[in-house]
Amino acid sequence: MRFHCIVFLTLCCLCSCAKKTPTPATSSAETPEVSLEEQNAVFSYALQNYLDEAQISGAVTAVASADKTLALEAFGLADIQGQRSMRKDSVFWIASMTKPITAMGVMMLVEEKKLNLDDPIEKYLPVFKGQKLLQAKTLVSPKRPITIRDLLTHTSGLAGASPTAANQPVDTLPLEKMVEFYAQQPLVSEPGTKWAYSNNGMNTLGRLIEVVSGQSYADFLQARFFTPLGMSHTSFWPDAEDQARLAKPYRRENDHLVEATNFRFSTPLDNRQRTPLPAGGLFSNARDLIKLYQMILRGGESHGHRYLAASTLQLMTSNQLGDMPKVSFAPGMQMGLGFHLVHEPTGVTESLSPGSYGHGGAYGTQAWLDPVKQRIYLLLIQRVDLPNSDGSEIRRDFQKTALESFGK
């Protein structure tokens, strides 16, 4: 009931703003646009209860079409102790939202015929040759080796163990050394038979990009995506300017928010000795991410630059695993190549069309693209201890309000 009242008040607020601001006359066939300033109440109203209950310190929210930002709003605080307000250009650790970008990098190399999806990973990374499967406490040879497709769909069977490092932070180990460690661990399931979310698999794909392209993983992404798209605030190593805009991460303690110690990385954050993690190392802001997702929604093209073929993105956002059970982190989901897919909208995904796709991040960041409505829904928060960031009520209420306000 409270939610519907909030939506009603929001719509009233928008109508009031429209009366105060004269707009040019339009024909009955035209739909007058509402300015971004007039929409600043939409999500702050809809998510106000999460601020009141100290579920979040603040948020940046955005809704966009393939060629226009329809709403961009910042509310609450980026830093509670310093009383620093959230801004539209606030920077967030987007964590696993890095994964689809890594996947698109791999698919660029597939398009260039430097890779094949069903190639065994050992063809490019020989360290995986002879990897064993742990079965009934016995090491046996798997029925087949891991393929690139397996890594993109989280069905590789790789173990989740992480390497350790003597006398240095673990996150400064180069990707090559990390991947050598993954290859030395026994598989926990036959490749291609079971979905199990795998950071190690995505990091392996980052190393694959390095070997095949001849560039470092970070340089590849910079040259192929960030520079041509104008994503100037997206980096594995946010500089001093972007660190000053960082939304701080928080956890709940005794019904209030307490600042978390870090972003799971060694500091300083701009230390380029820290490994750029393909599974979740990126920092970014809303405006940068809108540019990326608009390119995707336009079928791989932006401002005359072709990034990926439309057919490649269609493949990436199509079900790759058939009826495999327990896929993704919410009911009714399927798996593409690096993207999670909405098959049957239900629960947290009820406001998305079948065929919508996207990815979330560990601290509650969410980006979902609806190809039916031609909408991008972007939610940026920094909550460390959400039980399931993909299944949070915060995301559900945001997407519901976005659909009601901008979905048609």
Peptide bond into 268 cis (omega under 30): yes
Predicted TM-score (pTM) of the model is 0.90
Worst-scoring range by mean pLDDT, 25-39, 115-129, 207-221, 390-404?
25-39
The pLDDT of residue 124: 98
The pLDDT of residue 346: 97
235: nearest Cα among 92, 340, 117, 121: 92
36 pLDDT band, cuts 50/70/90, is low
Tell me, what DSSP letter sits at residue 247?
P
The pLDDT of residue 33: 46
Cβ atoms within 10 A of the Cβ of 18, count?
14
Three-class SS of 326-355: CCCCCCCEEECCCCEEECCCCHHHCCCCCC
Cβ atoms within 10 A of the Cβ of 237, count?
18
Cβ atoms within 10 A of the Cβ of 185, count?
17
Say if residues 74 and 88 touch (Cβ distance below 8 Å): yes
The SS3 of residue 223 is helix
166 pLDDT band, cuts 50/70/90, is confident
Q: Is the pLDDT of residue 179 over 60?
A: yes
The pLDDT of residue 305: 97
> Can you read off the two tokens belonging to residue 153?
């769909």
Say if residues 377 and 398 touch (Cβ distance below 8 Å): yes
Worst-scoring range by mean pLDDT, 36-45, 78-87, 132-141, 381-390?
36-45
Beta-carbon contacts of 14 under 8 Å, excluding residues fewer than 6 positions away, are 34, 38, 39, 41, 42
What is the rounded average pLDDT for all residues in the chain? 91
* Enclosing H/E stretch for 164: none
> Looking at this protein, which amino acid is placed at residue 406?
F
Rounded Cα–Cα distance for residues 66 and 302 (Å): 10
The topology (CATH level 3) of 2-101+219-406 is Beta-lactamase (3.40.710)
Task: Express each pLDDT in 269-321 by its tens digit.
Answer: 999 999 999 999 999 999 999 999 999 999 999 999 999 999 999 999 999 99
The pLDDT of residue 9: 36
Domains in the chain: boundaries:
2-101+219-406
Worst-scoring range by mean pLDDT, 13-22, 209-218, 275-284, 363-372?
13-22
